[in-house]
Amino acid sequence: MSIPVFRWRSPHERFLFLLSPLLVIFAWVWVSRLGLFPDQILVPPQHVWEAALGLWESGELQMHLQQSLYRLVIGFSVGALLGVAFGILIGLSNTVENACSPLFHAIRQVPTVAFIPMLILVFGVEETFKIIIVAKAAFFPVALATHDAVRGIPKAYFEVARAYRLPTWLLVWRIILPSTVPPVLTGLRISLGRSWMVLVAAELLAADSGIGQMMEMGRQMFRIDIVMVGVFVTGLIGFSLDRLFRSLEGRLVKWKHQS
Partner 1 sequence: MATIVLAFPGSVAWAEQPKEVRIATVAHYNGSRPSFIGSAAVIEKQGWLREELKKRGIRLVWVPVAPQSVGATINESFANHSIDFAGYGDLPSIILNAGGVETRLIVPGGRGNNVYLLVPPNSPAKSITDLKGKRIALHRGRPWEITFARLAEANGLKLTDFRIANLNPGAGAAALAAGNVDAFVTLSDAFPLVDKKIGRILWSTKTPGQDWKMRAELWGDKAFIEKYPDITQIVANAYVRAAHWVAQEENYPEFIRIAVVGGQDAEVVKREYADDSISWKARWNPVFDEFVTSHYRNAIYYSRKVNLIRNAFDESRLFEPKFVRQALKDLKLEGYWDTPAVAASTDKRGSS
Partner 2 sequence: MKRILNLAGNRVFQGAVLPILLLVLWELASRQGVAYAYAFVPLGQIWQGLLELLQTGELVTNLTATLRTMLVGLLIGGTLGLAVGGMMGIFRIVDLLIGPLYHTIRQVPLLGLIPLIGLWFGNGDFSKVLIVSMAAFYPMVLNTYEGVRNVEKRYIEVATVLRFSRWQLFRRVLFPGALPSIWTGLMHALAFAWISTVGSELLFAAGPGLGGMMQNAQSISRMDIVVIGVASIGVTGLLLNAGFSRLRRYSLRWRETG
User: 68 burial class (0-12, 13-18, 19+ CB within 10 angstroms)?
Assistant: buried
Interaction residues for partner 2, span 123-182 (CB under 8 A) = none
**How many residues can be counted in the chain?**
259
Contact between 50 and partner 1 (CB under 8 A)? no
Nearest to 83 by CA among 148, 39, 179, 36: 148
- The interface partner of residue 39, options being partner 2, partner 1, none and the CB cut-off 5 to 8 Å by kind, is partner 1
State the Cα–Cα distance between residues 131 and 74, nearest whole angstrom: 7
Between 13 and 208, name the residue whose CB sits nearer to partner 1: 208
Report if residue 45 touches partner 2, rule: CB under 8 A. Answer: no
Distance between start and end Cα atoms, the chain: 17
Nearest to 123 by CA among 131, 111, 134: 131
User: Binding string to partner 2 for residues 210 to 239, with x set by CB under 8 A, is what?
Assistant: -xx--xx-xx----x--xx-xx--xxxxxx
> Contact at 8 Å (CB) between 175 and 153?
yes
Q: What does the binding site for partner 2 look like in residue numbers (CB under 8 A)?
A: 1-2, 4, 6, 13, 16-21, 24, 41, 95, 98-103, 105-107, 109-118, 121-122, 190, 193-194, 196-197, 199-201, 204-205, 211-212, 215-216, 218-219, 224, 227-228, 230-231, 234-239, 241-242
Q: What does the binding site for partner 1 look like in residue numbers (CB under 8 A)?
A: 36-41, 117, 120-126, 205-208, 213, 216-217, 219-223
